[in-house]
Amino acid sequence: MGKDRYQKMFPVSWEQLHRDCRALSWRLVEKGPWKGILAITRGGLVPAAIIARELDLHLIDTVCLSSYDWKEQGSANILKKVDMDGEGWLLIDDLVDTGKTAKIVRDMVPKAHFATVYAKPEGRPLVETFITEVSQDTWILFPWDAGSQFVEPIVQVNE
């Protein structure tokens, strides 16, 4: 589908992201206790930091994948795996979109509890806990990707 698949824009401010991550923390605290957090990089890093603070978790690791190039979702490139099944761990990401990345990570850590701040219908079945659902044709514009408009990353991938 490419860029044409996004018909709507859902801008998220830092304050809204913080509120949504705290709301997610309220849901997760009841499902614990947790051994630690696995953040899916890069999108899951900020939510993981907020959730770790709210749940007083200090053991944090990362699963590193790359699957997005601005509005183009490509195939996932696994950059770093973890050596565990995820039992007792929270797997955190900013959103689940088509579920392609989520499926890869779920296969890596099948026993982790997968939580995202935002979910779209195609990927939602792979997530146990989330806060806000948006339509599949909505681009979620996260605060780290925006100023008053889209800001290109300092390092260009395709240079």
Question: Does residue 97 carry a catalytic annotation?
Answer: yes
Six token digits for residue 113: 């509890």
Question: Does residue 85 carry a catalytic annotation?
Answer: no
Which residue in 56, 94, 107, 145 is the catalytic one? 94
Which residue in 4, 61, 83, 93 is the catalytic one? 93
Strand boundaries in the chain, DSSP class E: 8-11, 36-41, 60-69, 72-80, 89-96, 113-119, 129-133, 138-141
Question: Does residue 93 carry a catalytic annotation?
Answer: yes
Which residue in 56, 61, 69, 97 is the catalytic one? 97
Least Cα distance to 10 among 153, 115, 127, 119 occurs for 119
Catalytic residues: 93-94, 97
